[in-house]
Amino acid sequence: MRIDCVVNGEPRRADDVWAGESLLHVLRERLGLPGAKNACEQGECGSCTVYLDGKPVCACLVPAGQARGREVVTVEGLGDGDLHPVQRAFIAAGAVQCGFCTPGLIVAVHDLLARTPSPAEEEIREALAGNLCRCTGYEKILTAVRLAAGREHES
């Protein structure tokens, strides 16, 4: 089937999409956007987090057909030609180990700070509960969120 949707602000088309395919597969394998990662494929880990009509979702659980006519923003679309401040904060804080969870976390933090510019500690933890880091590098990730929120003095 054919999927027409808007990805990172641009109309995109994918043809010959199989009905059982996920949005994640379409983004990575058909549209050349490998930022969102394919890890658990069960919606457990958040590595595939993208915006769908403005809400972060697990792209691995979205059948491709559901994206038809809708708006998708991936980690590649967050910065305006440059790295987004959330991405810069992750680099500055050293909040990356193997890096596999990082793109999903970036999208989740981007959403958190858009809704809650100065989140409390427990708000940060709840907002990132669906993003697992198997390197267990959570301390630096939390530091990066505080940095991006302008609360680096508290870290």
Partner 1 sequence: MRPVSYSRVADVATAIGTVAADPDSTFLAGGTTEVDLQRIHVARSKRLVDINDLPLRQVEELPGGGVRIGAVARMSDVAQALPVRRRFPMVSEALLLGASPQLRNMASIGGNLMQRTRCGYFRDVAAPCNKREPGTGCAAMTGVNRGHAVLGTSEYCIATHPSDLAVALVALDAVVLTQGPAGHRQIPADDFYPMPGETPDREHPVAHGELVVAVEIPPLPMASTSNYLKVRDRESYEFALASAAVAVSLDAGVVTDVRLALGGVATKPWRARRAESVLVGAPATVESFRAAADAELADAVSHGMNAYKIELGRRTIVRALRTVTGDARMVSDDGNPP
Token couple for 149 = 């929120």
Give the residue with the Cβ less far from partner 1, 65 or 92.
65
Backbone angles phi, psi at 113, to 5 degrees: -75, -25
Could you tell me which stretch among 73-81, 89-97, 127-135, 146-154 binds partner 1 (CB under 8 A)?
A: 127-135
Binding of partner 1 by 113 (CB under 8 A): no
Half-sphere exposure of 46 (CA within 13 A, CB side): 18
d(CA 112, CA 125): 10
Q: Least distance (Å) from partner 1 to the CB of residue 43?
A: 6
Binding of partner 1 by 66 (CB under 8 A): yes
Give the residue with the Cβ less far from partner 1, 3 or 93.
3
d(CA 21, CA 88): 33
Q: Least distance (Å) from partner 1 to the CB of residue 48?
A: 9
